[in-house]
Amino acid sequence: MAPGDLTIVRAYVSQMQTLTTDGPVPLTVLTEQERLFQEAVREFARTEVAPKVMEMDRAQAMDPGVVRRMFELGLMGVEIPEDLGGTGADFFTSVLVVEELSRIDPSVGVLVDVQNTLVINALLRWGTPEQRTHWLSRLAKDTVGAYALSEVGSGSDAFALQCRARQDGDGWKIDGRKMWITNGADAGLYIVFATVDVDAGYKGITAFLVERGTPGFDVGKKEDKLGIRASSTCELIFDGVSVGADRVLGAVGQGYKVAIETLNEGRIGIGAQMLGLAQGALDHTVRYIQQREQFGRTIASFQGVQFQIAEMATEIEAARLLVYNAARLKAAGEQFVVQAAMAKLFASETAQRVASACIDLHGGYGFTTDYPVAKLYRDAKIGTIYEGTSNMQKQTIAKVLMR
């Protein structure tokens, strides 16, 4: 991809629109256009992201040039309509983007994931025409988004919110704190969930659009994390933050619906992130075992090593089919909640198993920071925690199946 060149993206979208009109796309295989698009994103990640991965990890910050290039290439506004400056593609395309970026750096993958599968999706579904026109054009051009739901006492119990919003004339004032907010240090727009009526329980929750720089709003402590260290994870502080009525996303008291429906989609994105991570770890390991020699031959020639590679490749392919299937269902407007939970559960646990096994196959070198698998091992741990722990995914699957 040349700087600012969206030709391949536009051609891909045009082809996909034709395919959609002519008939359904197969669930678990890529069309030729999708494959070419995937290869273009892979080449961008390999040539422009990979050289900066370890530097970003050490600095615990995203390289501004990488973010700028992803805006130029349309990767930060995959589903935003073309007339608003976006790529105009579908949800499945955003999943391909997250997978390929995460193959090189899951920190970059999750920045793009939150932007596309959470923030943009929420605005596309719940935004007024005026909100979509104003904010989506900015999110396509140069503004990073963040999704502020979690709090100190509100993790898996997502709606135990202490953040409050009280009516103030025609608008609202927000007070409280948010924790563990991905893209917190990089964002210009935050979707903030606050309770407007404590007595109404979860039906008192409302989603607000809060812009960086609004008086009373500050980005607080940046977490010093085990993995995905280039991805900013921050505390947000709201002290009498005034927002107008036009900053309510969806209806007042409907924030729980915004959160649930958006997170169901976001789980597919995290599945794609973990899928890409696992594939990246395996890619590094396959190269390594064909170069490393022990007992006078490469360790790739040992049957025990070959069996481990085969098992990992099979698990990764199973995760890929689960993620792709959930994404296809969502893009087609079909029911996908169980499939999203399964994809997130399996892909995140596969990523941990594969990254661990890849460390083993690298031996002592795998335990050093000289080889990429050490970083991917650290990055993998978050997959079973954020956007719904593994236990929460299991609970979702079981509840739906037992209705």
What residues are annotated to the active site? 387
Mind giving me the DSSP string for 51-83? Answer: GGHHHHHHHTS--HHHHHHHHHTTTT-TTS-GG
Question: Shortest CA distance to 207 belongs to which of 139, 144, 161?
Answer: 161
Other C-beta atoms lying within 10 Å of the C-beta of residue 227? 20
DSSP SS3 for 166: strand
Pairing of strands 205-211, 189-195: antiparallel
Distance of CA 327 to the CA centre of its chain: 13
Question: Shortest CA distance to 155 belongs to which of 179, 137, 119?
Answer: 179
Tell me if 186 sits within 8 A of 62, measured CB to CB: yes
Q: How far is CA 207 from CA 211, 218, 226, 243, 260, in A?
A: 13, 18, 30, 11, 12
- End-to-end, the C-alpha distance of the chain in Å comes to 48
Q: How far apart are CA 124 and CA 113, in angstroms?
A: 15
DSSP SS3 for 162: coil
Q: How far apart are CA 88 and CA 9, in angstroms?
A: 9
Q: How far apart are CA 389 and CA 365, in angstroms?
A: 31
Question: Shortest CA distance to 106 belongs to which of 363, 388, 376?
Answer: 376
Classify the C-alpha dihedral 171-176-180-186 as positive or negative: positive
Within 8 A by CB and 6+ apart from 110, the residues are: 98, 102, 182, 228, 231, 270, 273
